[in-house]
């Protein structure tokens, strides 16, 4: 498969570090050196589904395709206001898409997990065009009195349209299941029969463990996938790393020994938007005209699960 178009949409409200220190015991001086984040886009009066639809429409426009051309919609999402139907159904209804659609919840690597699924559909000839939409609102998952988590996240949606081609050179999904490393729990509705103890808990994260997992897994998988596809680090034009933390991105880059120019970032004014981060970065780079035909892009992302995923795709 190959990328035909990209799109993204962000909430209007931007919250700077100094805004946070008005109600939280934190500071720009603490946040910036540890994360690289100066501000983040936060959902206020918008609905996530509308951001998702805007991103998807922009990706279709960029690909010069219409809704009737899309054979499958995959939406990557961890949480939104609907329990059912899936966010992909809500997006499809708003856009007038009538193709099969489903959601995946693979947390931050969701874009690459969705690419892997799309690739399987292309390989067995079931589709000609696939729309992937990643829409996330992690700012609704954190406790805004917990300075260790709420300063890290931002919201948004990113989308990409894929068509037939042989541009996907390789993909590697990995998992180290450890649900306690990043975890949020919600209580379901009571029934006359449930008498077990149930927990409701905003997002908790073992930051240092996640940091270590991200850097080691991503660097390992990038080296592994390049050697399996007969490519070298020098062949890669851009490393599109999940925008979780600038120090994580720098850690991966240092392990690989690659120049910073090959690592585009937008973390400074976006924060971590979970699975939306890679397609938002992709769209922003695309709209800046950074990519030329034949450029080699490596995507790598990691997150709750713990899951990680890496893909090599030619522009």
* Contact track, ligand COA, 146-185, x by CB under 6 A: -xx--xx---------------------------------
Residues in the chain: 315
| Interface pick for ligand COA out of 14, 26, 167, 229 (rule CB under 6 A) | 26
# of chain residues touching ligand COA (CB under 6 A): 22
Q: Are strands 72-76 and 129-136 parallel, antiparallel or unpaired?
A: parallel
Q: Verify binding: residue 31, ligand COA, rule CB under 6 A.
A: yes
Question: Counting beta carbons within 10 angstroms of the beta carbon of residue 94, is it exposed (0 to 12), middle (13 to 18) or buried (19 or more)?
Answer: middle
Q: Verify binding: residue 9, ligand COA, rule CB under 6 A.
A: no
Distance in Å, CB of 210 to ligand COA, minimum? 4
- Strand ranges in 164-223 using DSSP code E only, listed in sequence order: 168-175, 182-185, 201-205
Q: Are strands 182-185 and 201-205 parallel, antiparallel or unpaired?
A: antiparallel
* Contact in structure between 282 and 240 (CB atoms under 8 Å): yes
Distance in Å, CB of 152 to ligand COA, minimum? 6
Tokens standing for 156?
Answer: 């948004």
Distance in Å, CB of 93 to ligand COA, minimum? 30
One-character DSSP codes across 27-52: -HHHHHHHH--SEEE--SS--HHHHH
Question: Counting beta carbons within 10 angstroms of the beta carbon of residue 58, is it exposed (0 to 12), middle (13 to 18) or buried (19 or more)?
Answer: buried
Please give the distance of CA 96 from its chain centroid, rounded to a whole number.
25
Q: Verify binding: residue 201, ligand COA, rule CB under 6 A.
A: no
- From the list 3-11, 31-39, 44-52, 170-178, the region that binds ligand COA by CB under 6 A is 31-39
Nearer to ligand COA, 1 or 241 (CB): 241
| Interface pick for ligand COA out of 162, 211, 239, 299 (rule CB under 6 A) | 211
Q: How far apart are CA 272 and CA 260, in angstroms?
A: 20
Distance in Å, CB of 206 to ligand COA, minimum? 8
Q: Verify binding: residue 300, ligand COA, rule CB under 6 A.
A: no
**Residue 171, beta-bridge partner list:** 311
Distance in Å, CB of 62 to ligand COA, minimum? 27
Q: How far apart are CA 227 and CA 248, in angstroms?
A: 23
Q: Verify binding: residue 207, ligand COA, rule CB under 6 A.
A: yes
Which residues ranging from 34 to 53 are in contact with ligand COA (CB under 6 A)? 34-35
Which residue, 312, 276, 303, 249, is CA-closest to 106?
303
Distance in Å, CB of 247 to ligand COA, minimum? 6
Which residue number places its CB atom closest to ligand COA? Answer: 207
Q: Which of the residues are catalytic?
A: 108, 242, 272
- From the list 26-34, 158-166, 215-223, 291-299, the region that binds ligand COA by CB under 6 A is 26-34
Which residues ranging from 97 to 126 are in contact with ligand COA (CB under 6 A)? 108
Helix (H, G, I), strand (E, B), or coil: what is residue 226? Answer: helix
Q: How far apart are CA 160 and CA 195, in angstroms?
A: 45
Residues in contact with ligand COA by CB under 6 A are 26, 30-31, 34-35, 108, 147-148, 151-152, 205, 207-208, 210-211, 214, 244-245, 248, 272, 302-303
């Amino acid at each position: 498969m190959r990328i035909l178009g990209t799109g993204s949409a962000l909430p209007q409200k931007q919250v700077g570090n100094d805004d946070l220190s008005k109600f939280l015991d934190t500071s720009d001086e603490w946040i910036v050196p540890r994360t690289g984040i100066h501000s983040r886009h936060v959902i206020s009066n918008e609905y996530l589904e509308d951001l998702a639809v805007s991103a998807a429409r922009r990706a279709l426009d960029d690909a010069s395709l219409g809704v009737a051309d899309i054979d499958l919609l995959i939406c990557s999402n961890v949480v939104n206001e609907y329990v059912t139907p899936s966010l992909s159904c809500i997006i499809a209804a708003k856009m007038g898409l009538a193709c099969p659609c489903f959601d995946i919840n693979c947390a931050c690597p969701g874009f690459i997990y969705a690419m892997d699924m799309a690739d399987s559909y292309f390989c067995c000839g079931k589709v000609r065009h696939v729309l992937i939409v990643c829409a996330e609102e992690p700012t609704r998952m954190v406790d805004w009195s917990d300075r260790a988590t709420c300063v890290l996240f931002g919201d948004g949606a990113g989308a990409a349209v894929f068509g037939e081609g042989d541009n996907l050179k390789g993909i590697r999904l990995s998992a180290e299941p450890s649900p306690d490393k990043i975890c949020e729990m919600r209580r379901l509705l009571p029934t006359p029969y449930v008498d077990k103890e149930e927990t409701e808990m905003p997002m908790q994260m073992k930051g240092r463990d996640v940091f270590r997992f991200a850097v080691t897994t991503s660097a390992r998988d990038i080296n592994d996938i390049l050697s399996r596809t007969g490519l070298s680090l020098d062949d890669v034009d851009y490393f599109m790393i999940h925008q979780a933390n600038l120090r994580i991105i720098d850690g991966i880059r240092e392990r690989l020994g690659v120049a910073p120019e090959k690592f585009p970032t937008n973390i400074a004014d976006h924060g971590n938007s979970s699975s939306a981060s890679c397609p938002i970065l992709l769209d922003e780079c695309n709209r800046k005209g950074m990519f030329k035909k034949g450029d080699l892009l490596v995507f790598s992302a990691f997150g709750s699960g713990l899951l990680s995923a890496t893909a090599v795709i030619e522009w």
